[in-house]
Structure 1
């Protein structure tokens, strides 16, 4: 398959565009090569051929991977549209089998480790059954991955979006509480100093000042485990701590802490069918579980 080049100097090879698109999604030669089952050299060669054909630099190589240039962003948007149409043709030609398979392709979703492991991933089964051809890549990390640079398609973050090119939808309000083992001392379990500006850390500093901190961690699940082990009281999301054997909710010395969970997507990805399907499923599971998220029940 060939498509006409923007400069009119000849046809483009769809395989070059396909490799470029996967590299843009993956962000690294090694990841793109694994997904495409090609060698690193072939991926690099395909990118070079596409850039030479267009007469434009589409990607910059940086220490942390490949990043799209402004020209690359434009080419990616067109290549994404072509990929969606190609998948629609395959489904149409597949007849009933294609209809049953539903959407295809990969959607990359990023969120914190605790939210991914304890809440979202266990509730993705219905999405899998509805769209068995859809592949999900969940990047469970506390880092803020960039939607603008296509490090992920969707992000769940505990903050309202600030960028104008991101579309945000509030999923739920997450309630927090102080939890401790029944025989725990008056000490605290808290974040380490690298997380001192988080709302949870600021709340503890404001309302629990003067109490000994017996355990610190940059991991919410680590703090949960430390609280169960008896190190002290930890300020934890109710969705994570309610119902955990060996923990009980303690009286709080200040007003309750709540944080908003937002689903973010880059504006030009909102209507991509496979991304839209994941958005709708995530909205549904957060809506269904709202009482638990808000701390109303275990």
Structure 2
């Protein structure tokens, strides 16, 4: 008997397409699904053949969705959400499921990890995936479920909730701060060259163009550790400087303006119980710690 040609998409093909659409490369999609390049490519071609549409185009920077691919990704994501919804609530009404959170490295390491780790203890059905990235990741492509961003969000159809403001100050070991406050030329701890584009790094370059930077690191937690060794003073968010062992504020007149902290979610997830649970927990956590962040 001749095998009947498949006319309905295969769920495994859809999963592969979702991963490729989210991460933009065969390598990243393969890592996310713990498979290989050839499987990703084969599954993609299978889905395109089934739908009769070209879904992605290969560019030098990776794979880009076509117009048909953008439409298919939204439909595929809705299918995935529907599948997950089947298991995202218990009979007793308790939330259950994985929620992915993305936040900048220092905010994650210096504040969120210890606090978010308590949530699965309060809600045993919820699992947390906390990822850190200096650059914004895509909510639309479902790389994450919740994004915590610094600065007013520019994303499209998302729900944005303000969490507060992040103030800054200079911190160092007491002896070094005392010498600087009595007129000694400061020595800085700052960002490495790869992250010179960050607002804090650019502010330091403008206001201290001739001051030596004796130690450079890619995030504020590492900079606080270096400042604790006495190598220089670091411009730190207050939530790090105020909690770092051995550091105290240095009384310098200059400081950058505070940055707004925002929580972003997809509009379509506004009724998802595990998501709502994590969002409310994060909002309460930041509200309780407001004095740690403010000027």
Q: TM (normalized to structure 2)?
A: 0.78
**Does the 8 Å contact 2:168/2:255 carry over to 1?**
no
* 1:167 and 2:164 aligned: no
Residue deviations 1:212-262, cap 9 Å, x none?
Answer: 333333332232122111122211011112132221111121356311112
Residue deviations 1:118-144, cap 9 Å, x none?
Answer: 211211134323554544433212123
Q: Hey, what does 2:171 align to over in structure 1?
A: 179
Equivalenced residue count is 282
**Does the 8 Å contact 1:113/1:140 carry over to 2?**
yes
**Does the 8 Å contact 1:68/1:149 carry over to 2?**
no
2:113 is aligned, of 104, 117, 121, to: 121
Q: Which runs of 5+ in 1 are unaligned?
A: 1-8
2:50 is aligned, of 44, 50, 53, to: 53
Higher mean C-alpha displacement, 207-216 vs 42-51: 207-216
* 1:224 and 2:221 aligned: no
Distance 1:29 1:273 in 2: 32
> Structure 1 residues 78, 159: CA separation in 2 closer, same or farther (over 3 Å shift)?
same
RMSD across aligned positions (CA) = 3.3
**Does the 8 Å contact 1:207/1:253 carry over to 2?**
no
Distance 2:75 2:113 in 1: 31
Q: Hey, what does 1:6 align to over in structure 2?
A: none
Q: Which runs of 5+ in 2 are unaligned?
A: 1-5, 180-185
Residue deviations 1:40-86, cap 9 Å, x none?
Answer: 43343222211111111223445665443332232232233333333
Distance 2:33 2:210 in 1: 56
Q: Hey, what does 2:182 align to over in structure 1?
A: none
SS in 1 for 2:246: coil
2:76 is aligned, of 59, 74, 79, to: 79
> Structure 1 residues 137, 90: CA separation in 2 closer, same or farther (over 3 Å shift)?
closer
Q: Hey, what does 1:3 align to over in structure 2?
A: none
> Structure 1 residues 204, 55: CA separation in 2 closer, same or farther (over 3 Å shift)?
same
**Does the 8 Å contact 2:217/2:223 carry over to 1?**
yes
Q: TM (normalized to structure 1)?
A: 0.77
Higher mean C-alpha displacement, 77-86 vs 47-56: 77-86
Distance 1:14 1:234 in 2: 51
Q: What are the within-5 Å matches in structure 2 for residues 57-136 of structure 1?
A: 57-62=54-59, 65-90=62-87, 95=91, 102-105=95-98, 107-129=99-121, 131-136=123-128
Distance 2:201 2:35 in 1: 46
